[in-house]
Amino acid sequence: MTNILSFEKIKEVIKRIETIDKSNKLCKILVGNKTDEEQCRTVTVEMIRKYLNMNENFIKYKDVSVKTRDNISDLLDSVIDRFKFKDVNYEEVRDFPVFECEKLKRKNYLAVNNVYKIILLGDGTVGKSSFFKRYFFNDYDDKYTLTMGINEKFKFLKINDSEIKLQLWDTAGQERFRSLPRKYYQHADGILLLYDVTNRESFNNVTKWMKDINENSKRKIITYLAGNKIDLIERREVTFEDAMNMARQYNTNIFEISCKFDINVTEVLKKLSLDIYEKNSEKTQLNSNFHIDEREKRQRSLSCCIE
């Protein structure tokens, strides 16, 4: 509510939503944030009321403050009460962002059994955010932007006829942010560790990152290496042979990629997701065999007692 430009861009957002929700069945609630900064308010109540009267897309408006948590719970309750998922074509809205809250999880809306959490790791400037942007938005920007903390987004995949929700975390690579990704290791199913083929130091630091992963995760996480910026041929400092030797050292896979020209970006995540899928399938099969063995032992024990 302190930024008039963000309010004026609502029309653009609505157009994007309409391309996904062609049947106009999604619940849409307009939310004005930063009520705690009333003295800086530039979007007035009259402006909002006028906009709502002119547009039938929104069925409700809510003032909130993320900082002070004002009306946050009420907002989520409104979303849950008004979402009519039984009337929505799942194929039309599968890529639409859905509120992640405990009430929605309990009601199992748009539920997917397999959720794979993958972390992007590596030094600053190796191209983690560029990878994130290319994969989700098919876009690229030469301008470097510092990642502050963690960015997260998800996408749906099909693996062996199974629906997979791939959740990707883009992390900050600078030393002062190094501790941030560690708390995510415990929940991760996979890690994509990036280095810059034009920066030898970023490649050498793969060893430090692998050590950090091993020391701060309680279980083995499937980790792939990815050498970015292979389009900068004349500036290359890390050969593919160097990368292969590093991969052998850690018994993992190596992909060479270019976020700028979209080379192997999708492919590396597909392969990593497939490995996670196969690992989970083997675990499920082992658990199933264990339960069968235990059941057979109990049956044998019972027959022995009866005789």
> Confidence band (pLDDT; 50, 70, 90) for 210?
very high
Considering 4-13, 34-43, 260-269, the range whose residues carry the highest mean pLDDT is: 260-269
Domain shared by 83 and 202, yes or no: no
Q: Is residue 287 part of a domain?
A: no
Under a CB-based contact definition with an 8 Å cutoff, are residues 160 and 291 in contact? Answer: no
Report which residue type is found at 190: G
Between 100 and 151, where is the model more confident? 151
- Report pLDDT for 79: 59
Q: Is residue 304 part of a domain?
A: no
Least confident span in 59-68, 160-169, 184-193, 197-206? 59-68
- Report pLDDT for 82: 53
Domain shared by 227 and 121, yes or no: yes
- Report pLDDT for 12: 77
Under a CB-based contact definition with an 8 Å cutoff, are residues 153 and 162 in contact? Answer: no
d(CA 71, CA 77): 10
Q: What are 63's two structure tokens? A: 């003032």
Domain shared by 133 and 84, yes or no: no
Least confident span in 23-27, 112-116, 197-201, 214-218? 23-27
pLDDT above 70 as % of the chain = 67
- Report pLDDT for 302: 46
* 301 has pLDDT over 80: no
| Three-class DSSP category at 155 | strand
Residue 76: count of CB within 10 angstroms of its CB = 15
Domain shared by 245 and 121, yes or no: yes
**Tokens 């979402």 — which residue?**
83
> Confidence band (pLDDT; 50, 70, 90) for 30?
confident
Between 98 and 269, where is the model more confident? 269
d(CA 29, CA 82): 10
Between 197 and 297, where is the model more confident? 197
Domain shared by 95 and 212, yes or no: no
Domain shared by 177 and 44, yes or no: no
Domain shared by 274 and 169, yes or no: yes
Alpha carbon distances (Å) from 256 to 33, 117, 195: 42, 22, 10
Least confident span in 96-105, 188-197, 224-233? 96-105
**Domain containing residue 191: CATH number:** 3.40.50.300
Domain shared by 208 and 254, yes or no: yes
Q: Is residue 88 part of a domain?
A: yes
> Confidence band (pLDDT; 50, 70, 90) for 293?
low
* 126 has pLDDT over 50: yes
- Report pLDDT for 102: 38
| 158, containing H or E segment | strand 150-159
Q: Which of residues 44, 77, 107 is at a domain's end?
A: 107
Q: What is the mean pLDDT of the segment spanning 279-295? A: 63
- Alpha helices, DSSP H, located in the chain: 4-8, 10-20, 45-54, 72-82, 90-93, 102-107, 128-137, 182-185, 200-204, 206-216, 240-249, 265-306
**Residues in Cβ contact with 241 at an 8 Å cutoff, skipping those fewer than 6 apart:** none
Model's pTM, two decimal places? 0.59
Between 87 and 285, where is the model more confident? 285
**Residues in Cβ contact with 35 at an 8 Å cutoff, skipping those fewer than 6 apart:** 1, 63, 64, 65, 68, 70, 71
Range of the domain at 187: 114-281
- Report pLDDT for 94: 42
Q: How many domains does the chain have?
A: 2
Q: Which of residues 55, 86, 107 is at a domain's end?
A: 107
